[in-house]
Homo-oligomer: A and B are copies of this chain.
Amino acid sequence: MNEAEFLAAIRNLATDPAARGFADDAAVLGDLVLTHDMIVEGVHFLPDDPPEDVAWKLVAVNLSDLAAKGAEPVGCLLGYALGPAEWNAGFVAGLKQVLQTYPMPLLGGDTVRANGPRSFGLTAIGRAGHAPSRGGARAGDALYVTGTIGRAGIGLRLLSAGETGPEVEAYRRPQPRLVEGRALAPIVHAMMDVSDGLLIDARRMADASGLAVTIDLADVPVSGDPLEAVTAGDDYELLFAAPADVSLPMPATRIGRFAQGQGLSLVQAGSPVPLPASLGWMHT
């Protein structure tokens, strides 16, 4: 049973409607929005990453899932594997910063000892009047994105090359779009956050909605090379479907359109462009 088979088997167990078929950013139980993300040393962060930033990112990626469902943070539970003394102190400092910034109360959790690479988990709980799914886009809707895409990807490349720059902060300290998510939730047909890459996430929204989507590369607000930007992940901007003539409560950019059909197409100022080999980070 490989990863894809495991995910299929797990999806089969998740028959409760609140699970949304494991196809959404979060579970939705009445007015509660629930999400759980894990990060693993050597996979999602490096042993020499500053522990303050690891704590920030662990919380921020979960808050981004709440943002994508238009939810207000209610609280979180932390699963922590103890590390070296100095690392623990840095983690607590970063945790305090991120929990006070948004803010989100820490309600509970568990602390364990571990040998070898450590793992952390966070469960974030939010409350939303209406939590838009990924799958609600309608033919004729426009596709929008908040902010700028690609800064976190540049930050990761800088770090991998042993360099530094202002984009490193974008990679290490993502800013979940909680205010925007709550403002958008009542007017969008579908919403999700851009965690694995703009192209792959847009295709997931189209697939979940049973539609085709076309993105115009010339319209995407990017940092750096456009094709690199739209296939890099970790931006944690919001991607949403809404009527093309909707009045938005905050700035966002129209980058594409949904239509009958299926799949993702890319154009550049209207002319077809071949899809890159990788659309982003694939889990399987």
A interface list, Cβ under 8 A from B? 1-3, 5-7, 9-10, 13-16, 18-20, 22, 26-27, 29, 32, 34-40, 42-44, 74-75, 77-82, 85-86, 88-89, 92, 95-96, 99, 105-119, 121, 123, 125, 283
- What's the number of copies of this chain in the assembled complex? 2
**With contact pairs A77-B35, A105-B14, A121-B121 given, residues A40 and B110 touching in the complex (Cβ less than 8 Å):** no
Top 5 nearest A-B pairs (CB, nearest first) are A116-B116, A16-B105, A27-B107, A36-B77, A121-B121
For A283, list chain B residues within 8 Å (CB): 111
Contact with A75, one of B29, B44, B85 (Cβ below 8 angstroms)? B29
Given the complex of chains A and B, what is the CA–CA distance between A15 and B107 in angstroms? 8
Let me know if B117 and A27 touch, CB within 8 A. no
For A19, list chain B residues within 8 Å (CB): 75, 105-108
Q: How far is the CB of A25 from chain B (nearest CB, A)?
A: 9
Let me know if A6 and B92 touch, CB within 8 A. yes
Pairs A–B under 8 Å by Cβ, sample size 8 = A6-B111, A13-B99, A43-B115, A44-B112, A77-B123, A79-B121, A112-B119, A117-B117
Contact with A106, one of B10, B82, B117, B125 (Cβ below 8 angstroms)? B10
For A107, list chain B residues within 8 Å (CB): 14, 16, 18-19, 27, 29, 34
Let me know if A92 and B1 touch, CB within 8 A. yes
Q: How far is the CB of A106 from chain B (nearest CB, A)?
A: 5
Output the nearest chain B residue to A107 by Cβ-Cβ distance.
B27
Output the nearest chain B residue to A37 by Cβ-Cβ distance.
B110
For A2, list chain B residues within 8 Å (CB): 85, 88
Let me know if B75 and A16 touch, CB within 8 A. yes
Let me know if A108 and B22 touch, CB within 8 A. yes
**With contact pairs A77-B123, A82-B6, A119-B119 given, residues A110 and B1 touching in the complex (Cβ less than 8 Å):** no
